[in-house]
């Protein structure tokens, strides 16, 4: 094996090493992103839980289809205005939808693991929580 044969092997080894380093950096970045996403979701859910103790608003997730349609019901005695809906801590719907007492409305919001609704009173309602495995 001449000098050029060894050089080809060292180039291949260097390329594999670069690939492994890039893969490691990508995995580290993904880990950081996932941890930050979980922190945002957990803090939103904690805040929503604290606020739910202070209100008469009662929203229920009746059904959430995999095609992204969600049926949300107002089970309280007073009308509730929905301003924002978050799926997996990302804004999925924004607008104004007022649900009368005992009324249900369908929203096209996509599908995910957690669903949080912000109402006109500023309250956050966790209608579905991400299951940690």
CATH assignment at residue 93: 2.60.40
pLDDT in tens, 24-73: 888 888 777 777 666 666 677 677 666 555 567 899 999 999 999 999 99
Buried b / exposed e over 66-87, threshold 16 CB at 10 Å, is eeeebebbbebeeebebeebbb
Residue carrying the six token digits 């839980």:
49
For residue 77, pLDDT over 70 is answered with: yes
Radius of gyration of the chain measured on its C-alpha atoms? 24
Distance, in Å, from the CA atom of 49 to the CA atom of 21, rounded to the nearest integer, reads 42
Number of domains in the chain: 1
- Read off the pLDDT band of 99 (50, 70, 90): very high
The pTM of this model reads 0.59
The average confidence (pLDDT) of the chain is 84
What per-residue confidence (pLDDT) applies to 104? 96
What per-residue confidence (pLDDT) applies to 111? 94
Q: Tokens representing 103?
A: 């009324």
Domain that holds residue 80: 1-133
Which of 113, 63, 65 has the alpha carbon at shortest distance from 86?
Answer: 113
What per-residue confidence (pLDDT) applies to 53? 54
């Amino acid at each position: 094996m001449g000098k050029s044969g060894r050089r080809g092997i060292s180039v291949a080894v260097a390329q594999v090493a670069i690939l492994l380093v890039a893969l490691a950096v990508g995995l580290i970045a993904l880990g950081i992103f996932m941890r930050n996403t979980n922190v945002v979701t957990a803090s939103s859910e904690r805040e929503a839980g604290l606020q739910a103790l202070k209100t008469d608003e009662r929203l229920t997730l009746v059904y959430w289809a995999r095609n992204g349609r969600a049926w949300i019901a107002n089970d309280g005695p007073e009308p509730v205005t929905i301003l924002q809906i978050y799926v997996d801590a990302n804004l999925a719907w924004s607008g104004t939808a007022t649900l009368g007492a005992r009324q249900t409305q369908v929203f096209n919001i996509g599908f995910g693991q957690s669903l949080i609704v912000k109402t006109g009173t500023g309250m956050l309602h966790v209608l579905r929580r991400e299951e940690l495995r």
